[in-house]
Amino acid sequence: MTMTAHTLPTRFKTHWLNWQQQRLMLRQDWRTVRFLALDLETNGLDCGADGILSMAWVPIHNGVMGMSEARYHVIQTPVALNQSVVHHHLTSADIADGETLDSVMRQLAQAMSGAVLVAHHAGLDWRLLRAASKQTGVELSPLAVVDTLLLERRRRAQRYQHEQMGAERLDAYTLSACRQRHGLPPRAAHHALEDAVACGELFLAQAWKQAGNAHLPAADLVRRSRPTF
Mean pLDDT by 10 residues, the chain (229 residues): 52 56 90 97 86 96 96 92 70 91 98 97 95 97 95 80 56 93 92 97 96 95 76
Query: pLDDT value at position 10?
Result: 57
Query: pLDDT value at position 38?
Result: 98
Show the domains of the chain with their CATH numbers: 30-224 (3.30.420.10)
- Contact criterion met (CB below 8 Å) for 16 and 32: no
What span, in angstroms and rounded, lies between the C-alpha atoms of 220 and 88? Answer: 33
What does the DSSP 8-state code read for residue 46?
T
Query: pLDDT value at position 1?
Result: 44
Q: For 97-191, where are the alpha helices, taking DSSP H only?
A: 101-112, 122-136, 148-159, 162-166, 175-181
Query: pLDDT value at position 9?
Result: 59
What span, in angstroms and rounded, lies between the C-alpha atoms of 21 and 44? Answer: 37
- Give pTM, 2 decimals: 0.86
What span, in angstroms and rounded, lies between the C-alpha atoms of 148 and 117? Answer: 11
